[in-house]
């Protein structure tokens, strides 16, 4: 498996596990109230967004002209 393929596969699995873990905590958590559910959802969404940002938007190498 090529590195790029592994990286994409790993990212997809990470997003899947983050989503399942957040659902598990919200649905089955004993100490989960509405505010905590919002907080967990925001953390999970933020993590997924950072992962997508890392994979989708690559930094371009800038050439410096002097």
CA 21 – CA 60 distance, rounded (Å): 34
pLDDT at position 9: 92
* pLDDT over 80 (residue 59): no
pLDDT on residue 15: 92
7-46: pLDDT as tens digits: 889 999 999 999 999 999 999 887 778 999 999 999 999 9
Alpha-carbon distance 51 to 53, whole Å?
Answer: 5
Domain boundaries, the chain: 3-55
User: Is the pLDDT score of 62 beyond 80?
Assistant: no
Q: How confident is the model at residue 46, as a pLDDT? A: 95
Residue 60 pLDDT > 90 = no
């Amino acid at each position: 498996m090529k590195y790029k393929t592994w990286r994409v596969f790993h990212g997809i699995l990470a997003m899947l596990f983050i989503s399942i873990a957040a659902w598990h905590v919200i649905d089955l958590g004993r100490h989960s109230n509405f505010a905590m559910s919002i907080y967990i959802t925001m953390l999970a969404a933020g993590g997924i967004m950072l992962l997508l940002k890392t994979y989708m938007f690559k930094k371009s190498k800038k050439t410096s002209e002097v």
